[in-house]
Chain A
Amino acid sequence: MNAPHVGSSVRRNEDERLLTGQALFVDDVHLDGMLHVAFLRSDYAHARIKSIDLSTARSRDDVIGVYAARDLGDYWRPGPLLVPPPPIERLEFHQATQVPLAKDKVRHVGEPIAMVVARSRYEAEDALALIQVDMEPLDAVVDLEAALSEESPRLHEQLESNLAAHVIQEKGDYSAVVDKAARVIKRRFHFDRGASAPMENRGVVADWNAKSGELTVWDTTQAPIPIRNGLARLLDLPEAQVRVIAPFIGGGFGPKIMMFYPEEVLIPWLAMKHGRPMKWIEDRQESFFATTQERGQIHDAEIALTEGGIILGVRDVFWHDTGAYDPYGLTVPINSQCTLLGPYQVPNYYSEFRVVFTSKPIVTPVRGAGRQHGVFVMERLLDIAARELDIDRVEIRRRNLLAPDDFPHDHEIIYQDSAPLVYDSGNYEAALDKAVEKMEYKKFLEEEQGRLRAEGRHVGIGIVSYIEGTGIGPYEGARVTVEPSGTVCVATGVGTQGQGHFTSFAQIVADQLGVTPDRVHVVTGDTSKFNWGTGTFASRGTVVAGSACHEAAVAVRAKVIAHAAKALRADPGDIELVDGWVRVRTRPESCISLGDLAVRANPLRGAVTPGTEPGLEATAYFGPERGTTASGVHAMLVEVDPDTAMLKILRFLVVHDCGKVINPMIVDGQIVGGVAHGIGNSFYEQLHFDKAGQLLNASFMDYLLPTATDVPTVEVDHVETPSPHNPLGTKGVGEAGAIPVGALFAQAIEDALGEGAPEILEMPLSPNRLFELLSEAGYYNSPSQQE
């Protein structure tokens, strides 16, 4: 038997195409006669559309078509509610989903108003300038709390207020324990917006073949099958006549999910209307308005503890900014609500949130999807509690961690997947111990920090814990086929955006069929190759689709053994699959290649035995009972230069538990990439909106993605507690790196500044903001600054 490929750092199958410029991305699709589309977008955050004059633009020779909402006829309708709210008692939810083109009103800057079809993108953009839109500006809705006041302008006239949802979840009775607490700590926390900012912007190409009645759409989506199904419904076509292809995608990070973005719905419509291939590629400036964003929340939180630092309960009331529409339901705030509990024993919990419509771009999950906020609030409360109770930061965490025998652990509230929040497995203290030891936490605090301070250097250490619900249902499927060449083909319905699915799925299948992963050809994201599935989100690709691949491969393996036993006249129990050969264990010279066996399994004469299927092929579906609970600890050493308010990260460590690791190289890559995103969200990236709802930094010049000189080398280590919920024992990892970084920055910076440091209750920070906090804390008035 070959050494298993699962668990080893197999080089990626997809890399060669990507490295040589041969991988197909959506903007690489060129079709004969293709036309190009550009969108006219609102400059105003909130305004009534009084009139739209398309005549000048239409009169240009190089313009093929110009459309506003009224030209769409019946096709104009609000988008679907993508994720209905979970069944939580007393839940209040008001649906308002985005429309293809604004008709009467615009509700955020960048909302599309009209579109131009031309022979080139250049000409289409020329014509945009000729469209006259008469708008009556309305006051913008920006501040979350003010948005819910009586006086606030209303975004959606059909609703009574800007309230999109109101949810309360409770466990135990917080109000009963708060009086008994030795210490209650209350703070207000702010988290502001960031962009997902994949390097590839969105794009859609659509091709309508009137003769065959087939529509083909290339789309930068994380979820091609739901898009196919939705487009078929919208365009009144059989699902079988619509093919959606998500080819190579240049990063997703959440917003490329099945959004039914206006452009996603309109480009296929235009292709059918004009009978010509149509292309729209989002440019970077558009992406800052037209692609969904995340992270605006305000929390009023409190924690009740004993003198010994044991958590009695937590109360959190928060506001969540959903932007102008709420197509993604409550996923993000429920993630915040559920993730706040972290790896801790929290016997009493009161959590209430309000989701608020604002005149800003739409909010849907972005890498972490609300979990950041929960972790930030809980970890900050524990840091403050540690300080006030004079308990070491690590120690207060240790005293509250769930123990390895506490699993499954039921938190008695409902998670985003509508299932109860039950942790499946974990070993939190082991991860914390590992981080403490590797960072030499005690030695740093007792020896190093003082010595550095004496040299005038402000260096601090941070160490935080988190959990992450991953790998949720409902299901994914996969089909595994052995071809006559011996190549194994795997098809699944998920899309892939750089997570290495071409390789990790290949490893899973290779181990079952006794081939090397490079002999396994994986196809993802093409609805003509696999018909069922949901998509890549919530750190679920490898967990759910990977498990489906595993199940299908197991079924094919059984077929291989059955056929081989017959062909080789051996006992099925003696058959082994090695190096692409199927042979009898006791007499290896008696063998047949996998490819030849595939030929035999598909006979051209004779008869296939009734009750069996031709070929070495199987399809399997996997639907986990509930999600898996990944967890981890992040630690860092940071140096602060208070004179300039600039930071330097000296060391960064992640100890992570994603259960069974399929490919360590890929898993570590996911974690490190997530950390970089988290560093961005903590100190570089912030979407600044003014009171009129204008985004003030809609370019890569002012929206600062961290570069190679900003992200340190990240050390990664693992704790492995396999999940009982899937055959591979794996848990998701795509978002983990990004989640606790804000909390880590806050703690480490405070530690670096030492006595008199400002309390950091907000993310993201920046040098400018840190300077303000230091100024407010009186740092620049202190004698040490005056000398």
Chain B
Amino acid sequence: MLLSDFLRHELDLTGTHVGCEHGVCGACTVLLDGEAVRSCLMFAVQADAAEVTTVEGLSSKSEALAASNGDADGGPRLHVLQEAFREKHGLQCGFCTPGFLMTLIPFLRDNPSPSETEIREAVSGNLCRCTGYQNIVRAVQLAAERMGSEPGPLS
């Protein structure tokens, strides 16, 4: 069984999406021991003993590090990057979004102040049909800016 199917259908972690199952679209990107990989190009058994992080683990895990934007009514606090996506309208249908987020987490860890070109290349393995990418780029810029003034996320 593919890792993507295992996460979605055995663990019910349906935040990881499946868009092509041949390694092009990037929607299924998850972190394997902290690095971005395509979960449709791995068998679940290969992840044995590894740590897998999905989008569901992003907001809760980084809660302490998230920007101070938690809802007053106690809703889940978003990761700085998630919040930046929301502010900059970096998502429309939202299907590709978890893959972008999971690609960008290690990218921003390794490149805390990326240029626009670096950002675009970093997400060139993730397809989005809705946004035309520019608000995603702006969201990453905003997140990088905010993270620069705070402790790093998921590091």
Q: Which residues of A contact B (CB under 8 A)?
A: 9, 11-12, 14-16, 18-25, 27-28, 30, 122, 197-201, 248-251, 253, 283-284, 497-500, 665-666, 669-670, 672-677, 699-701, 705, 707-709, 711, 713-714, 737
Known: A19-B101, A199-B25, A708-B137. A675 touches B86 (CB 8 A): no
| The one of A12, A19, A714 that contacts B132, using a Cβ cutoff of 8 Å | A714
Indicate the member of B19, B87, B91, B120 with the most A CB atoms within 10 Å.
B19
Beta-carbon nearest neighbor of B86 in chain A:
A15
CB neighbours (8 Å) of A122 from chain B are 1
Do A16 and B19 have beta carbons less than 8 Å apart?
no
Q: What would 29 A/B residue contacts be, using CB atoms closer than 8 Å?
A: A9-B89, A12-B89, A15-B94, A16-B86, A18-B91, A20-B58, A20-B76, A21-B54, A21-B56, A30-B12, A199-B25, A199-B95, A200-B17, A200-B19, A248-B93, A248-B94, A249-B93, A251-B95, A498-B95, A498-B130, A669-B131, A669-B135, A672-B135, A675-B132, A676-B132, A699-B24, A708-B123, A708-B137, A737-B132
CB neighbours (8 Å) of B107 from chain A are none
Give chain A's interface secondary structure class: loop
User: When chains A and B are docked, how far (Å) is the Cα of A700 from the Cα of B82?
Assistant: 27
CB neighbours (8 Å) of A14 from chain B are 94
Do B56 and A253 have beta carbons less than 8 Å apart?
no
CB neighbours (8 Å) of A699 from chain B are 20, 22, 24
User: Measured between C-beta atoms, what is the minimum distance from B21 to chain A in Å?
Assistant: 6
Give chain B's interface secondary structure class: loop
Beta-carbon nearest neighbor of B57 in chain A:
A21
Additional A-B contacts beyond A198-B95, A250-B95, A669-B130 (8; CB < 8 A): A18-B91, A18-B94, A21-B15, A198-B129, A199-B96, A669-B132, A708-B126, A709-B121
Beta-carbon nearest neighbor of B59 in chain A:
A20
Do B59 and A28 have beta carbons less than 8 Å apart?
no
| The one of B24, B94, B119, B131 that contacts A700, using a Cβ cutoff of 8 Å | B24
B136 CB-CB contact with A under 8 Å: yes
| The one of A20, A500, A700, A713 that contacts B55, using a Cβ cutoff of 8 Å | A20
How many A-B pairs with Cβ below 8 Å? 173
User: When chains A and B are docked, how far (Å) is the Cα of A714 from the Cα of B133?
Assistant: 10
Beta-carbon nearest neighbor of B85 in chain A:
A19
User: When chains A and B are docked, how far (Å) is the Cα of A709 from the Cα of B21?
Assistant: 22
CB neighbours (8 Å) of B76 from chain A are 16, 20
B127 CB-CB contact with A under 8 Å: yes
CB neighbours (8 Å) of B75 from chain A are 16
CB neighbours (8 Å) of A201 from chain B are 19
6 residue pairs, one from A and one from B, having the closest CB atoms: A21-B15, A498-B93, A250-B95, A18-B94, A676-B132, A498-B92
User: Measured between C-beta atoms, what is the minimum distance from B82 to chain A in Å?
Assistant: 4
Known: A251-B130, A284-B19. A20 touches B95 (CB 8 A): no
Do A700 and B132 have beta carbons less than 8 Å apart?
no
Beta-carbon nearest neighbor of A703 in chain B:
B24
User: When chains A and B are docked, how far (Å) is the Cα of A9 from the Cα of B135?
Assistant: 14
Known: A11-B86, A11-B87. A200 touches B132 (CB 8 A): no
Beta-carbon nearest neighbor of B93 in chain A:
A498
Do A709 and B120 have beta carbons less than 8 Å apart?
yes
Do A700 and B25 have beta carbons less than 8 Å apart?
yes
User: When chains A and B are docked, how far (Å) is the Cα of A470 from the Cα of B124?
Assistant: 33
| The one of B87, B101, B134 that contacts A714, using a Cβ cutoff of 8 Å | B134
| The one of B15, B24, B86, B92 that contacts A22, using a Cβ cutoff of 8 Å | B15
B18 CB-CB contact with A under 8 Å: yes
CB neighbours (8 Å) of B29 from chain A are none
Beta-carbon nearest neighbor of A518 in chain B:
B71
User: When chains A and B are docked, how far (Å) is the Cα of A497 from the Cα of B136?
Assistant: 18
Do A250 and B94 have beta carbons less than 8 Å apart?
yes
User: When chains A and B are docked, how far (Å) is the Cα of A31 from the Cα of B134?
Assistant: 38
User: Measured between C-beta atoms, what is the minimum distance from B125 to chain A in Å?
Assistant: 8
B39 CB-CB contact with A under 8 Å: no
CB neighbours (8 Å) of A253 from chain B are 129
Do B95 and A669 have beta carbons less than 8 Å apart?
no
B144 CB-CB contact with A under 8 Å: no
CB neighbours (8 Å) of A497 from chain B are 93
Do B94 and A19 have beta carbons less than 8 Å apart?
yes
B113 CB-CB contact with A under 8 Å: no
CB neighbours (8 Å) of B127 from chain A are 199, 700, 705, 707
Do A499 and B92 have beta carbons less than 8 Å apart?
yes
B109 CB-CB contact with A under 8 Å: no
CB neighbours (8 Å) of B98 from chain A are 21
User: When chains A and B are docked, how far (Å) is the Cα of A676 from the Cα of B129?
Assistant: 8
